[in-house]
Amino acid sequence: MKRRQAIKTIGLAGAASLILPKLLAKDLLAQANLELLKLDFGTGFKWGVATAAYQIEGAWNVDGKGPSIWDNFSHKKGKIRNNETGDIACDFYHTYAEDLDLVNQMNMDVFRFSIAWSRILPNGTGLINQKGIDFYNRVIDTALEKGIEPWLTLYHWDLPQTLEDKGGWANRDVINWFSEYVSLVANSFGDRVKNWMVFNEPAAFTGLGYMTGTHAPGKKSLGKYPKAIHHVVMCQAEGGRILRALVPDAQVGTTYSMSSIHPKEKIKKHENAAKRMDALLNRLFIEPALGLGYPSKDFTYLKEVEKHMQVGDDQKMIFDFDFHGVQNYFRIVATQSAFPPVLWANQVKPVHLVEDKAKLTDMGWEVYPQGIYEVIRQLSAYKGVKKIYVTENGAAFPDQIENGKVKDIQRIQYFKDYLGEVLRAKNEGAPVHGYFVWSLLDNFEWAEGYHPRFGLVYVDYETQRRTIKDSGLWFKEFLK
Ligand code: GAL
């Protein structure tokens, strides 16, 4: 801190001349660049942790909650690593107060969470479960009492099973079901919640849920997939409109998974593959909302999606979001179309092909800090993108707890490197206003079960005991 202030006052060269001869000006420069300060991000910048209902709540059939597609999917044999389920998860349903204390302890401003649709509407529509509403009231009120801002995601992948039984996202009626749900959430919590996200990563839950079948509801259907995409695009805008009408002082956003996508070699085949994957994975959901339509020029398959458009849909897909959330986890090095029937037929071909010697996380994802810079730049280049939040970023590493400590040095380095790249984009003018870590707690990582640990807080699943990892303590210090 002191060194930094000195550098600010007398300049780098001046500071260098004051330092022991051994330390060259070049080293000083390098060190100054490495040192990250909260203040560099500006005073209004929001720091937070992100979570999702199914991954932490547990209490899957408690107090009147209806089943979701994830309850059903995880209860089927062979769908989740070790056949694990989210039945108990982190038991957040009962431990929320203690867990919100941890958010405070790490000096975070924001707690991002999602509502389990079937906890408040057990059948998806109709009957309201007051006990479910009461639970989220307790979470929101406790957060506010502790000085934490609750940021609410309407949908983080857990559709009520009754709605999936009627066709789920592939049934156009979902626009009505979703509208009813959004209205209930907005009317119930809009007096206290001011920051909203309609969807979490639509490209992920439509692709993995209806095309590769690796996530709930486990469909591999080239018939349902394009329908689901279009209906989610419609709901994205409709959800935004309902929130804006019912919570007039709300900041309305939505989130996208984005990866930097590079052709492996500078040859036509790889370049075309990269372009198609960019259209499918990065641009598919944001462009219709911005009034640009589907990016079918760059990926002709998307004409399959356009087929499901009805008269007037082109206008109804548009919504002027106050902010866009970007979530970045890996880079894609493209060599071929990652799209079925190629991907589907080969089953296991990873979408994110990584360079041979790349550093990998426990998910097999490449550590590539520059990627977050690239996607923020890509997002901020759109006219109509006003504010950007990094609504998720983080990594799973094989954490060990020893004598009550988790020394996750790799994760600390990961955050330093990624934050440095976020700052680079911000300093170049990208309107980045906040950064939320995935995730508060180790939790149920979808098809990977409890194996990958993403938390700033270690969870012992036997005892539900929490331990702040060294990375959480690093944030505590950094943000104080
Ligand atoms: C995101 C997702 C989160 C979490 C994270 C880590 O795609 O929104 O729920 O699972 O990936 O894999």
| H or E segment and range at residue 324 | strand 323-327
The pLDDT score that the predictor gives to residue 340 is: 55
For ligand 1, what atom is nearest to the CA of residue 200? 8
Task: Among 392, 411, 436, say which to mutate for ligand 1: greatest number of ligand atoms within 8 Å of CB.
Answer: 392
Query: By the 8 A CB rule, do 168 and 228 touch?
Result: yes
Residue 77 has pLDDT above 80, yes or no: yes
Q: Is the shortest distance between the CB of 392 and ligand 1 below 6 Å? A: yes
- Quote the mean pLDDT of the chain: 91
Which residues have a catalytic role annotated?
Answer: 201, 392
The pLDDT-based confidence of 419 (bands split at 50, 70, 90) is: very high
The pLDDT-based confidence of 28 (bands split at 50, 70, 90) is: very low
Residue 1 has pLDDT above 70, yes or no: no
Spatial distance between the Cα atoms of 252 and 321, rounded to a whole number of angstroms? 6
Q: Which residue minimizes the CA distance to atom 4 of ligand 1?
A: 445
The pLDDT score that the predictor gives to residue 350 is: 44
The pLDDT-based confidence of 136 (bands split at 50, 70, 90) is: very high
Looking at the chain, the whole-number percentage of residues with pLDDT higher than 90 is 82
Spell 85-117 as b/e; 16+ CB within 10 A means b.
bbebbbbbbbbbeebbebbeebebbbbbbbbbb
Cα(20) to ligand 1 centroid in Å equals 47
Spatial distance between the Cα atoms of 404 and 467, rounded to a whole number of angstroms? 7
Task: Specify the higher pLDDT residue, 352 or 174.
Answer: 174
Q: Is the shortest distance between the CB of 52 and ligand 1 below 6 Å? A: yes
The residue type of 256 is Y
Spatial distance between the Cα atoms of 436 and 49, rounded to a whole number of angstroms? 5
Cα(248) to ligand 1 centroid in Å equals 30
Residue 380 has pLDDT above 90, yes or no: yes
Cα(410) to ligand 1 centroid in Å equals 19
Residue 153 has pLDDT above 60, yes or no: yes
DSSP state of 281: I
Q: Is the dihedral of CA 190, 192, 195, 197 positive or negative?
A: negative
Cα(335) to ligand 1 centroid in Å equals 25
Query: By the 8 A CB rule, do 171 and 126 touch?
Result: no
Query: By the 8 A CB rule, do 153 and 52 touch?
Result: yes
Residue 346 has pLDDT above 60, yes or no: no
**Cβ-based neighbours of 353, under 8 Å, separated by 6 or more:** 264, 332, 333, 334, 335
The pLDDT score that the predictor gives to residue 333 is: 84
Domain ranges of the chain: 1-34, 48-479
| H or E segment and range at residue 393 | none
Once rounded to an integer, what is the mean pLDDT over residues 146-163? Answer: 99
Spatial distance between the Cα atoms of 130 and 127, rounded to a whole number of angstroms? 9
The pLDDT-based confidence of 270 (bands split at 50, 70, 90) is: confident
What's the pLDDT tens digit per position in 301-341? 899 999 999 999 999 999 999 999 999 999 888 877 656 54
Query: By the 8 A CB rule, do 393 and 326 touch?
Result: no
- List the Cα angle 102/105/106 in 5-degree steps: 95
The pLDDT score that the predictor gives to residue 86 is: 99
Once rounded to an integer, what is the mean pLDDT over residues 269-279? Answer: 89
Cα(51) to ligand 1 centroid in Å equals 9
Task: Please enumerate, as own/partner, the contacts of 423-429 that have beta carbons within 8 Å and a separation of 24 or more.
Answer: 423/36, 423/40, 423/41, 424/373, 425/372, 425/373, 425/376, 425/377, 425/380, 426/41, 426/42, 426/376, 428/377, 429/380
Residue 343 has pLDDT above 70, yes or no: no
- Best-predicted range by mean pLDDT (329-333, 348-352, 414-418): 414-418
**Phi and psi angles of residue 339, each rounded to the nearest 5 degrees, phi first:** -105, 150
Task: Specify the higher pLDDT residue, 7 or 389.
Answer: 389
The pLDDT score that the predictor gives to residue 339 is: 61
C-alpha distances out from residue 267 to 182, 263, 277, 281, 310, Å: 46, 8, 16, 21, 39
For ligand 1, what atom is nearest to the CA of residue 255? 8
What's the pLDDT tens digit per position in 96-112? 999 999 999 999 999 99
Task: Among 438, 444, 454, say which to mutate for ligand 1: greatest number of ligand atoms within 8 Å of CB.
Answer: 438
Residue 353 has pLDDT above 80, yes or no: no
What's the pLDDT tens digit per position in 429-452? 999 999 999 999 999 999 999 999
Query: By the 8 A CB rule, do 240 and 321 touch?
Result: yes
**Cβ-based neighbours of 96, under 8 Å, separated by 6 or more:** 138, 139, 142
Residue 356 has pLDDT above 70, yes or no: no
- Among residues 102, 107, 115, 41, the alpha carbon closest in space to that of 435 is found at 41
Spatial distance between the Cα atoms of 439 and 48, rounded to a whole number of angstroms? 9
Token output for 164 = 């999936």
Once rounded to an integer, what is the mean pLDDT over residues 262-286? Answer: 91
Is CATH 3.20.20.80 the right assignment for the domain spanning 48-479? yes
Spatial distance between the Cα atoms of 267 and 413, rounded to a whole number of angstroms? 34
Task: Specify the higher pLDDT residue, 300 or 372.
Answer: 372
Query: By the 8 A CB rule, do 93 and 59 touch?
Result: yes
The pLDDT score that the predictor gives to residue 6 is: 35
Residue 297 has pLDDT above 70, yes or no: yes
What's the pLDDT tens digit per position in 40-56? 999 999 999 999 999 99
Q: Is the shortest distance between the CB of 438 and ligand 1 below 6 Å? A: yes
Residue 273 has pLDDT above 90, yes or no: no
The pLDDT score that the predictor gives to residue 26 is: 47
The pLDDT score that the predictor gives to residue 7 is: 35
Spatial distance between the Cα atoms of 374 and 351, rounded to a whole number of angstroms? 19
User: Which residues are bridge partners to 334 per DSSP?
Assistant: 263
Residue 189 has pLDDT above 60, yes or no: yes
Looking at the chain, the whole-number percentage of residues with pLDDT higher than 70 is 89
Residue 33 has pLDDT above 70, yes or no: no
- Among residues 192, 91, 106, 96, the alpha carbon closest in space to that of 436 is found at 106
